[in-house]
Amino acid sequence: MSLFQIESDFLRYLLAQGCMPGSRLPSLNEISNEIGISVGKLREQLEVARVLGLIEASPRRGIHYTGYDFLPAVRQSLMVGLSLNRPLFDGYSALRSHLEIAFWDEAVSQLTGEDHTRLRWLVGQAWAKLQQERIQIPHAEHRAFHMTIFQRLDNLFVTGLLEAYWDAYEAVELNTYADYRYLTAVWRYHEQIAEAIAAGTFDEARQLHIAHMELLSSRGASLETEPLLQPADLPVSAGVVQ
């Protein structure tokens, strides 16, 4: 594509260099002289590149190109949006829900035996926290469980969108939700999902995953008396995660 479609002089310069991740760039004065803009304007454009995750800059180490990652831009935009309008999280949750279902088969088919072990380990860690005398919310395990399932997708746009979801989840403080019945129901689903993936019954795992997301969308429902769905009873379309 033509670099002239990119408005920033510094970004055009950066991309034209063909830098490899880790490459060190010249000083601001050198770049300023080369591309013909002031150091002050260059600093402004360099900050945009830093926010996009393209560079790291420090007085001691200089400016380094870090490579392209979709997550920083998505995260920054999402955090601004949520600051302006908290209910936007519901729309992003719907997007995340449909993404996970759409990429489920591709994701789980690439998981290794080591990944299966990690999923089971995360379930065990979560139960350990929930069974302590002073209960802890296993949020780190929750995030890691979902991202482990999708970690081997060779699609940085999908994984970036999914990672940003968990940043948003924390930003709106859903990780502080502490209803014990809800938490135990969620982790019973996770346990069943992990076992189904390890057994190679990916469709059953997918249906359990859909049911689990529908559980998340109805946190106000009674979880104490409502049994987990069996594979034959599971829905065939994804719900929206709140």
Task: Give me the CATH number covering residue 82.
Answer: 1.20.120.530
Range of the structural domain that residue 99 is part of: 71-233
Q: Which residues contact 23 (CB under 8 A, 6 or more apart)?
A: 17, 64, 65
Q: For residue 114, is pLDDT > 60?
A: yes
Look up the pTM and report it: 0.81
Token pair for 232? 């034959």
CA distance 38 to 41: 5
Q: Are residues 57 and 160 both part of a single domain? A: no
pLDDT for 208 equals 95
Q: For residue 225, is pLDDT > 60?
A: no
Q: Are residues 137 and 28 both part of a single domain? A: no
Q: For residue 39, is pLDDT > 60?
A: yes
Count of domains observed in the chain: 2
Q: For residue 84, is pLDDT > 90?
A: yes
Residue 49: CB atoms within 10 A of its CB come to: 20
Q: Are residues 96 and 8 both part of a single domain? A: no
pLDDT for 240 equals 29
Q: Are residues 205 and 89 both part of a single domain? A: yes
User: Mean pLDDT, the chain, as a whole number?
Assistant: 85
Residue 239 falls within a domain, yes or no?
no
Q: For residue 185, is pLDDT > 50?
A: yes
Q: For residue 63, is pLDDT > 80?
A: yes
Q: Which residues contact 156 (CB under 8 A, 6 or more apart)?
A: 68, 69, 70, 71
Q: Are residues 48 and 121 both part of a single domain? A: no
Give the residue with greater pLDDT, 117 vs 223. 117
User: What's the pLDDT band for 121 if we cut at 50, 70, 90?
Assistant: very high
Q: Are residues 24 and 78 both part of a single domain? A: no
Residue 54 falls within a domain, yes or no?
yes
Residue 38 falls within a domain, yes or no?
yes
pLDDT for 242 equals 31
Q: For residue 221, is pLDDT > 80?
A: no
Q: For residue 10, is pLDDT > 80?
A: yes
User: What's the pLDDT band for 226 if we cut at 50, 70, 90?
Assistant: very low
